[in-house]
Amino acid sequence: MSPSNIKVSLFVFGLTLISAAVLAQPKTDLGKREFENNCASCHGVSGKGNGVLVEFLKRSPPDLTLLAKKNNGILPMDRMYEVIEGRNVPSHGSRDMPIWGRDYRIKDGEYYGEMVYDPEALVRARILALLEYINRIQVR
Ligand code: HEC
C-alpha cells in the first residue's frame, strides 16, 4: 500500500469509528424529556395527574393519559396546543397551568440573546414534541 492509500484507509477507519460512536448514543426523546422537565411536577411522570405539586394547586391537573378516551378516541390536538401555548386562554379567573408559550419564549430569548433565530418556530417545535409524547401515553 502506498503512503497516501494508508492515509485514506486511516481516514475512513476514523470516520467509521466516529459514526459508530454517534449511532451508539441513546436516542434523545425530546417530548419525553420536555414532559419530565416541565410537566411531571403537576401532571405526574406518568401523566396521570399525580405530580408532587398537586397539593399546592387550586385545581387538580387532569389525567393526560385519558384525553383521547374522553374525546371519542381522538386526541384533541388543537385544544391541547392552545392550553399549553396559553395564548388564547383568558388571563382572568384561576389558571394553575403555566403559560408555556410565554415561558419558552423568555427562556429561548435568554439563551439566544442577540443571535438571529425564529422564536415562534422554537415554541412550536417544543409544543409539538410534547403533543407527540402525550399521544404516546394515551390509554387506548
Ligand atoms: C403548576 C402545575 C402544572 C404544570 C407544571 C403543568 N400543568 Fe398542565 N394543567 C395543570 C392544571 C391545574 C390543569 C387544569 C386546567 C387549569 O386549572 O388551568 C392543566 C391542564 C392541562 C391540559 C388540558 C387538558 C384538557 O383537559 O384539555 C394539558 C393538555 C396540559 N395541562 C398539559 C401540560 C403540559 C404539556 C405541561 C408541561 C409543558 C403542563 N401541562 C404543565 C397544571 C399544570
Cell of 101: 408559550
The pLDDT tens digits along the chain (140 residues) read: 677 777 777 777 777 777 776 666 667 899 999 999 999 999 999 999 999 999 999 889 999 999 999 999 999 999 999 999 997 666 556 678 899 999 999 999 999 999 999 999 999 999 999 999 999 999 98
The pLDDT score that the predictor gives to residue 44 is: 97
Which of 97, 126, 130 to mutate for ligand 1's pocket (most ligand atoms within 8 Å of CB)?
97
pLDDT of residue 13: 74
Q: Cβ(35)–Cβ(134) under 8 Å? A: yes
Summarised one tens digit per residue, pLDDT across range 40-76 is 999 999 999 999 999 999 889 999 999 999 999 999 9
User: What's the first-to-final CA gap in the chain, in angstroms?
Assistant: 61
Looking at residue 54, what is its pLDDT? Answer: 94
* HSE of 71, CA atoms in CB hemisphere, 13 A: 14
- Ligand 1, pocket-test mutation among 30, 43, 54, 100, most atoms within 8 A of CB: 43
106 CA from centroid of ligand 1 (Å):
19
Residue 6 is predicted with a pLDDT of 79
Chain centroid to CA 88: how far? 20
List the grid coordinates of 131: 403533543
- Residue 94 has what pLDDT? 66
**CA–CA dist 105, 118 (Å, integer):** 10
Q: Is 49 in the pocket of ligand 1 (CB under 6 A)?
A: no
> Is 36 near ligand 1, meaning CB less than 6 Å away?
no
* Distance separating alpha carbons of residues 4 and 15, to the nearest angstrom: 17
Q: Is 30 exposed, middle or buried (0-12, 13-18, 19+ CB in 10 A)?
A: middle
Residue 24 pLDDT? 66
